[in-house]
């Protein structure tokens, strides 16, 4: 009888991204791996799902491995939904998303396709983790992340996660200095000061590029942004119940 855990791997950068290849390699040391990932980059898609178009899934040929890999035409959340419902046809023991090329710390978690995939699995009752590296380069250096990724995933497999909670893991960009370790943190209060770069195409039609500057508005030393700046790997427990429970009592005093 096979007692290895079944692990679903996905991402938002696409199935050919170096980050997911690294994550697949690490997860294959922990269990049986099934990959369902977008067939093209889906960064910034958040928790979008496909409602007005067809979805296509293509099984990839792997001549040198037993790992099953599928590319999906949909979003990261679509990949998790169809992966669980149609490909695996049962709940995996773990879902991991990433390793993302770029930060998903602080407010970035709201926009992240990487984290939305992990959240979607969490909604299905699957313990889930999103992994990200603070380096947007396609050729980002993922070497040295493996022991930390494996340790965090092993802990989740052994201990589980509470209902409604997934983990958001971020790695500082690689430098000549080794990581100081892992810190449990809270999400920093921050936002993007956004602007639109307005241009005109050769046909005279106006178009826009979204630009912006990330602003950390949080002076706390227990935040993910603070720890990442100090070269620590951060682990933030994320809940997807968006109810502001602390405001319910006050809201009940209003005269509707």
Residue 191, H or E segment: strand 190-200
Mean pLDDT of the region 56-64: 84
Q: Which pTM value belongs to this model?
A: 0.93
Quote the pLDDT of residue 15. Answer: 95
12-16, 19-23, 63-67: least confident range: 63-67
Q: Does 123 reside within a domain? A: yes
Instruction: Output the domain CATH number for residue 121.
Output: 3.40.1210.10
Domain span at residue 49 reads 6-187+221-251
Quote the pLDDT of residue 41. Answer: 87
Q: Does 129 reside within a domain? A: yes
Q: Which two tokens stand for residue 184?
A: 């449990």
For 200-243, the pLDDT digits (tens) are 999 999 999 998 888 888 889 999 999 999 999 999 999 999 99
For 32, residues 6+ apart whose C-beta sits below 8 A from its C-beta are 2, 4, 5, 6, 7, 66
Domain count of the fold of the chain: 1
For 163-207, the pLDDT digits (tens) are 999 999 999 999 889 999 999 999 999 999 889 999 999 999 999
- Average pLDDT along the chain: 94
Neighbours of 65 (CB within 10 A): 11
The DSSP line for 9-56 is EE-SS-TT-HHHHHHHHHHTTTSEEEEEEESS--TT-TT---SSS---
Report how far apart the first and last C-alpha atoms of the chain are (Å, whole number): 60
Residue 196, H or E segment: strand 190-200
């Amino acid at each position: 009888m096979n007692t290895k855990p079944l692990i679903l791997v996905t991402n938002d950068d696409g199935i050919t991204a170096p980050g997911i290849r690294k994550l697949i390699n690490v997860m294959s040391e922990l269990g049986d791996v099934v990959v369902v990932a977008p067939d093209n980059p889906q960064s910034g898609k958040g928790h979008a799902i496909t409602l007005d178009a067809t979805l296509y899934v293509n099984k990839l040929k792997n001549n040198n491995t037993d790992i099953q890999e599928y590319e999906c035409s949909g979003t990261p959340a679509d990949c998790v939904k169809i992966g669980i419902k149609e490909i695996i046809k049962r709940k995996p023991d773990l879902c991991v998303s990433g390793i993302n090329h770029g930060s998903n710390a602080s407010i970035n978690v709201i926009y992240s396709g990487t984290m939305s995939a992990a959240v979607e699995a969490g909604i299905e009752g699957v313990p889930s983790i999103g992994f990200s590296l603070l380096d947007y380069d396609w050729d980002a250096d993922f070497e040295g992340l493996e022991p930390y990724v494996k340790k965090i995933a092993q802990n989740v497999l052994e201990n589980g996660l509470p209902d409604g909670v997934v983990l958001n893991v971020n790695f500082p960009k690689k430098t000549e200095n080794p990581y100081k370790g892992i810190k449990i943190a809270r999400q920093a209060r921050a936002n993007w000061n956004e602007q639109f770069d307005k241009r005109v195409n050769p046909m005279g039609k106006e178009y826009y590029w979204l630009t912006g500057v990330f602003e950390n508005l949080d002076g706390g030393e227990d935040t993910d942004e603070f720890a990442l700046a100090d070269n620590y790997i951060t682990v933030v427990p994320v809940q997807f119940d968006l109810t502001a429970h602390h405001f319910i009592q006050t809201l009940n005093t209003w005269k509707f």
